[in-house]
Structure 1
């Protein structure tokens, strides 16, 4: 299984159902169930379904703040040259976070061993 590394407070907003788009500077072909790692914690906090990756225009980004949670004053321009919304669905937080071994160089994705 793959795990996506996400910083706070964004990961908390995802688990609370307040954020269903993860904004990234690259497209992804990964779909299905993935784990979520809180950046810097060394722990997997839960799972989510990654259902789609959509390239956004500035208008898309500005008109859909309710999905990505970026404050309006920070939405005046796209955060990346090419900006994508990774669409997330069905968050499931674990009762207890699960430790994992962080590989050197992993910044966005971690391949988890079962």
Structure 2
């Protein structure tokens, strides 16, 4: 079964658009996303965002790559959540063996596509209170654009 619709928010024939937001993801999951080894990000909320996004390695102050957020599955049942492991969700089988519960009251799988690791991470300014998303300042958007245009 093909998890993703055959769409791409990145138009490879044109220069990449400015990326306005970045998702904060803890390691090692952030690196797995930008390397293409993790195609589902498990979260406790839905999102309507469908666009190219930066991936921030939590606690580093750096954007390490980009991908497209193309869809959301959920809320997931426990069975669907367990299935996400085989689809690149990064679910820890030991956690499931211990708890047999969902990690959130409502659990969603954010679908990611077209990952790209930056050759050099880009520093950004972390706003107070940002836990999930960071709205990138114009200078960071432009630095990211320049890095992707190489």
Does the pair score TM above 0.5? yes
SS in 2 for 1:68: coil
Larger Rg: 2
C-alpha distance in structure 2 between counterparts of 1:16 and 1:62, whole Å: 22
C-alpha distance in structure 2 between counterparts of 1:72 and 1:58, whole Å: 13
After superposition, residues 31-110 of structure 1 pair within 5 angstroms as 31-55=50-74, 56-66=76-86, 67-75=88-96, 76-110=100-134
Matched, 1:25 2:44: yes
Relative contact order higher in (CA < 8 Å, ≥ 6 apart): 1
Instruction: Give the TM-score normalised by structure 2.
Output: 0.73
Instruction: Please state how far the C-alpha of 1:63 moved relative to its aligned partner.
Output: 2.0
Cα RMSD (Å) = 0.9
C-alpha distance in structure 2 between counterparts of 1:86 and 1:65, whole Å: 13
SS in 2 for 1:106: coil
2:40/2:84 contact within 8 Å kept: no
Instruction: Give the TM-score normalised by structure 1.
Output: 0.95
Deviations 1:48-92 (A, max 9, x none): 000001111111011221221222121321100100000000101
Structure 2 residues not aligned, in runs of 5+: 1-19, 139-150
2:82/2:91 contact within 8 Å kept: no
Moved more, 26-35 or 15-24: 15-24
